[in-house]
């Protein structure tokens, strides 16, 4: 088993190298493609560091909200079915908070620089 460096550290090191040493030397369409690649590496780094914790929190929230056990996929499907059937809506206890917390956790991985996300993080 490898202890160090962790995969997220390796990916971050590559992204930082590309951003700091290669990107300043490239222009035009190649620079755009490089920025897309760096953004993808940054996203994978965040997924590796944040996804397990946020998935666990989402699963616990879903179990509490729905009152049943299951996988994250199964419980999200069940929640979707209940919302579509009208048996759950924003007036259902805990649903609005669950949706908000889940959205914030997903934004932390997908779009942490999104202005509205940053504003909400500062307020809470």
pTM assigned to the model: 0.79
What is residue 72's predicted lDDT score, i.e. its pLDDT? Answer: 98
- The percent of residues above 90 in pLDDT, for the chain, comes to 92
What is residue 2's predicted lDDT score, i.e. its pLDDT? Answer: 65
Structure tokens at 110: 């997908």
pLDDT tens readout for residues 21-62: 999 999 999 999 999 999 999 999 999 999 999 999 999 999
**Separation of alpha carbons 103 and 84, rounded Å:** 19
Q: Are 79 and 119 in contact (CB under 8 A)?
A: no
Q: Cα 48 from chain centroid?
A: 10
If phi > 0 it is left, if psi is from -120 to 50 it is alpha, else beta; for residue 67 that is left
């Amino acid at each position: 088993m490898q202890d160090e460096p962790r995969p997220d550290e390796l990916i971050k090191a590559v992204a930082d190298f590309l951003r700091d040493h290669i990107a300043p030397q490239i222009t035009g369409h190649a620079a755009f493609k490089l920025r897309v690649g760096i953004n993808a590496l940054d996203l994978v780094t965040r997924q590796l560091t944040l996804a397990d914790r946020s998935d666990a929190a989402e699963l616990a929230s879903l179990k509490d909200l729905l009152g049943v056990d299951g996988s994250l996929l199964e419980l999200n499907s069940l929640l979707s079915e209940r919302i579509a059937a009208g048996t759950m809506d924003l007036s259902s206890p805990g649903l609005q908070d669950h949706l908000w917390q889940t959205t914030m956790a997903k934004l932390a991985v997908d779009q942490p620089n999104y202005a509205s996300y940053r504003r909400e993080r500062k307020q809470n």
